[in-house]
């Protein structure tokens, strides 16, 4: 099977994720979309690893998953904390750092 298809799917998922990050206002959905983008990158990594026939890309994909898991933990923690302090769950409302 041609590697092009894998990459097409990967690019598609990445674009969907990016579009989600840019358009959605709920931080939960933004995190979900970020996850999509990471997984798109993982798909591309694994596809190339398969093409070259070695394991380096796959190992790298696992590391990305670990990082993604950490990121989700922190991100969800932040969202829970926001909820507790009764802050609006909306990334556009949270702009206190503006200049």
Give residues in contact with other proteins (CB under 8 A). 18, 21-23, 25, 30, 91-92, 94-99
| Cα 98 to Cα 88: distance, rounded to the nearest angstrom | 17
* Number of alpha carbons in the 13 Å side-chain half-sphere of residue 93: 9
Residue 14 or 48 with smaller CB distance to other proteins = 14
Task: Using the CB atoms, write b or e for 59-78: b if 16+ within 10 Å.
Answer: ebbeeeeeebeeeeeebeee
Tell me the closest approach of the beta carbon of residue 11 to other proteins, in angstroms. Answer: 12
Residue 46 or 91 with smaller CB distance to other proteins = 91
Residue 56 or 93 with smaller CB distance to other proteins = 93
Q: Token pair for residue 22?
A: 């840019």
Tell me the closest approach of the beta carbon of residue 36 to other proteins, in angstroms. Answer: 14
Torsion of CA 40, 9, 32, 42, to 10 degrees: -20
Residue 15 or 65 with smaller CB distance to other proteins = 15
Tell me the closest approach of the beta carbon of residue 91 to other proteins, in angstroms. Answer: 4
């Amino acid at each position: 099977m041609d590697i092009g298809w894998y990459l097409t799917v990967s690019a598609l998922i990445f674009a969907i994720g990016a579009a989600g990050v840019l358009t959605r206002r709920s931080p939960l959905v933004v995190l979900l979309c970020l996850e999509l983008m990471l997984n798109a990158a993982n798909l591309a990594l694994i596809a190339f690893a398969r093409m070259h026939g070695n394991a380096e890309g796959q190992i790298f994909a696992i590391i990305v998953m670990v990082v993604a898991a950490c990121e989700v933990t922190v991100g969800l923690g932040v969202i829970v904390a926001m909820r507790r302090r009764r802050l609006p769950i909306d990334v556009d409302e949270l702009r206190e750092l503006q200049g």
